[in-house]
Amino acid sequence: MPFRVIQWATGAMGRFALHSVLTRPGLELAGVLVRDPAKTGRDAGELVGLPHAGVACTSDPAAVLAMDADVVLHMPLPAAYFGPNRAADVENICALLASGKNVITTAGLVYPRSYGRGVVERLEAACAAGGATLHGTGINPGFMSDFLPLALSGLCDRVDHVYVRECSDLRGHPSRKVVRDLMGFTRTAEEYAARVRPYRAFQRSLFGESLQMVADALGVRLDDVDERDEFELATTEFEIAAGTVRKGTVCGSRWVFSGVARGRPFMTVEVVFKADAAQVPRWAEPGFSVHIQGVPRLTLAVQEVSHGLAPAAVHAVNAIPAVCAAPPGIRTLLDLPLIVPRGAVRLS
């Protein structure tokens, strides 16, 4: 029997996941939740350039809760930034879990323990009520800043410091909400400083999950998480998919998060975003890298990711069989078997 899947949100990432669900054997689309009124009532296949799928999109969360499905791919933009209710994501996830649906989310919760016992107990209660499982994932966090460092640590006799770097080129990113509203690109320095405050808190909590997960898995007690960020202004005007970047407006940002143990950084995550890497030479080149200082010293570089949204979305899709097979409760990457793209291979 195929897994019945609900797609929650159809932004740039959600559409990648929806396309994968509709084309992947072993998966059956049960429903789609949209926020854009223009998408309400449209066929799901139409949203992603595929033939008629026979599933109409709805903007009613209550209708989604009433649907019969095995799992929900929860992929909204973070409520912590875009809405007055910063707890909306956790509230929606708890409602879905309590309705008996497993949930895979890309909106954080990679390691809920980092938010304290209260959040964990609330999520666990919802899982118990519905007999359901919760898993948070993505590309970073969810793979690059947690799975890879832990995998590499298996080759080490001693780990002194873990450094993870991400550099993303957003030149082709189609979402103005993400590029302009969330990240603050194309805005003046003053507008950026005002708009980025909620995003700063979200980023700190998001990457704090990875820091805490890796530290806990390696038996290290973190005393604090330090965060610092800076931005770059464009020296010339240029175009990206999300709009025009004018001279003097923000075109890049760099975030550094450090988990501190015994007065020194144990793990550091550097995250660089560039509106167009060709126009922002400062900082690292696009790609991912993991450095482990210890015995031995290890470096792993992923030099090219053709579209950052695609791996973030399909890593969630690939997790469906493992999550549906897991016992009820919160399941991090530490609790699940290796996630592989079952059904994704196409042989002619």
d(CA 114, CA 212): 6
Give residue 307's pLDDT. Answer: 67
**Residue ranges in the chain modelled with pLDDT below 70:** 80-84, 86, 304-308, 340, 343-348
d(CA 22, CA 39): 17
The answer as to whether 273 is a domain residue is: yes
Question: pTM of the predicted model, to two decimals?
Answer: 0.93
Do 165 and 55 lie in a common domain?
Answer: no
Do 118 and 163 lie in a common domain?
Answer: no
Do 201 and 295 lie in a common domain?
Answer: yes
The answer as to whether 338 is a domain residue is: no
Give residue 177's pLDDT. Answer: 84
The answer as to whether 219 is a domain residue is: yes
What CATH number should be reported for the domain holding residue 79?
3.40.50.720
**Quick check: 218 and 159 in contact, CB under 8 A?**
yes
Do 67 and 179 lie in a common domain?
Answer: no
Do 159 and 88 lie in a common domain?
Answer: no
Question: Which tens digit of pLDDT belongs to each residue from 229-245?
Answer: 999 999 999 999 999 99
Tokens of 250: 């923000």
Do 239 and 102 lie in a common domain?
Answer: no
Total structural domains within the chain: 2
Share of the chain above pLDDT 70, in %: 95
Give residue 282's pLDDT. Answer: 95
d(CA 164, CA 287): 11
3-class DSSP state of 207:
helix
**Quick check: 183 and 251 in contact, CB under 8 A?**
no
The answer as to whether 344 is a domain residue is: no
Can you give the residue range of the structural domain that contains 284?
Answer: 147-304
Rounded to 5 degrees, what angle do the CA atoms 260, 262, 267 make?
A: 30
d(CA 63, CA 66): 5
